[in-house]
Amino acid sequence: MPYLQSPWLVVAAHSNSAVATKLDSGPESGLQVVRFRRRTGRPLTGDQVRLDEAMTVREILPRRNRFGRGIWGGRFREIAANLDRILIMVAAEPVPSRDLLHRYVAAAGILDIPCSLVLNKTDLDVGKLDADLEIFQSLGHRVFRVCANTGAGVDELAAGIGDQTSLLVGQSGVGKTSLANRLIPDLKAQTSALSRVTGKGTHTTTTCRLHRLPDGGWMGDTPGVWEFSLWAMDAIELEIGFSEFRPISVHCRFRDCRHLDEPGCAIRQGVEAGTISDYRYQAWRRLLAEVEEQGAA
């Protein structure tokens, strides 16, 4: 059976089927359920696929990257592929769980995906998060300040993400859906079109879904309610997610230094000298314990 010419974009991937849309088509183009065989592999949300005339996946095009999280046993579970940016949303309420930002920023760094921070609910008392946000800003991450309720700052965010494919992540209740409704005026129509095609209810799906932004980009949401954790890895991999450590850790006495109690540790010296933030270093110690424990489980 001949392949259909242009690649299709997977906007929602389920275990036995996926929903895709033709990539080079206008915003009116329809969604189609596509099937796949074990041999071709399971597509992820964000994958580009080639289909045959029976709407079966014949080929998953090579992925630029994959974002995911740790699940039981320290395993890595993919969430979406081919992302330009992770948007990590926080708000003063609900109070961010400890190390949430460090975890997300580390995951994005390890998986080689740029990330930006979005502070929502700027109408509330947000001073509590300023110190955290400043540290991540000093590491080179852009911080957007928005109020999804009033729309303040949303235009700037829209301009910042442009026509990219972004994944919006953050704790339940921070305002992801509210912001998505601001950025995507027809979000409700897109969501119900998706559930019409899949026959799944709007609120039952836990898979990541891509929605079309008015400026041509895509925004992924993650309706599944889960605590974000890292997966099993060693100190060398985790350190990729602490990008400011690298220029200094090359001076540690041991090449496989975990920056805990090793003699001649340049990172601990850096903390004492103030070139490494103690806030980041304490997070390092906790996250290293977490990912090593997952590896041992």
- Check residue 267 for interaction with Zn ion (CB under 5 A): yes
CA distance 80 to 145: 25
Residues that bind ligand GDP (CB under 6 A): 120-121, 123-124, 147-149, 170, 172-178
Minimum distance from CB of 90 to ligand GDP (Å)?
10
Among ligand GDP, Mg ion, Zn ion, none, what does residue 265 contact (CB within 5–8 Å per kind)? Zn ion
Among ligand GDP, Zn ion, Mg ion, none, what does residue 101 contact (CB within 5–8 Å per kind)? none
Comparison of 141 and 259: residue with beta carbon closer to Zn ion: 259
Minimum distance from CB of 165 to Mg ion (Å)?
19
* Nearest residue to 168 (alpha-carbon basis) of 242, 239, 91, 232: 91
CA distance 214 to 199: 26
CA distance 118 to 121: 10
Query: Cβ-closest residue to Mg ion?
Result: 177
Among Zn ion, ligand GDP, Mg ion, none, what does residue 124 contact (CB within 5–8 Å per kind)? ligand GDP
Q: Is 162 left (phi over 0), alpha (psi -120 to 50) or beta?
A: left
User: Tokens 């740029």 label which residue?
Assistant: 114
- Check residue 103 for interaction with Zn ion (CB under 5 A): no
Residues that bind Mg ion (CB under 5 A): 176-177
Among ligand GDP, Mg ion, Zn ion, none, what does residue 147 contact (CB within 5–8 Å per kind)? ligand GDP
Comparison of 189 and 236: residue with beta carbon closer to Zn ion: 236
Q: Please name every residue paired with 211 in a beta bridge, in sequence order, or none if there are none.
A: 219
* Nearest residue to 143 (alpha-carbon basis) of 160, 155, 128, 162: 160
Minimum distance from CB of 265 to Zn ion (Å)?
3
Minimum distance from CB of 125 to ligand GDP (Å)?
11
CA distance 230 to 290: 8
CA distance 164 to 84: 6
Residue 80 CA, distance from chain mean position: 8
Comparison of 122 and 177: residue with beta carbon closer to Mg ion: 177
Angle CA 260–293–172, to nearest 5 = 105
Which residue in the set 51, 107, 147, 252 belongs to the binding site for Zn ion (CB under 5 A)?
Answer: 252
Minimum distance from CB of 152 to Zn ion (Å)?
43
On whether the CB atoms of residues 224 and 206 are closer than 8 A, the answer is: yes
Which residue in the set 66, 141, 182, 259 belongs to the binding site for Zn ion (CB under 5 A)?
Answer: 259
On whether the CB atoms of residues 74 and 47 are closer than 8 A, the answer is: no
Task: Candidates 27-35, 145-153, 169-177, 250-258: pick the segment binding Zn ion (CB under 5 A).
Answer: 250-258
Minimum distance from CB of 277 to Zn ion (Å)?
15
- Check residue 108 for interaction with Zn ion (CB under 5 A): no
Looking at residue 8, the DSSP 8-state letter turns out to be E
- Tokens, residue 97: 């769980």
Comparison of 48 and 190: residue with beta carbon closer to Mg ion: 190
Minimum distance from CB of 222 to ligand GDP (Å)?
10
User: Tokens 């994958």 label which residue?
Assistant: 47
Q: Please name every residue paired with 76 in a beta bridge, in sequence order, or none if there are none.
A: 70
Minimum distance from CB of 239 to Zn ion (Å)?
9
Positions in the binding site for Zn ion (CB under 5 A): 252, 257, 259, 265, 267
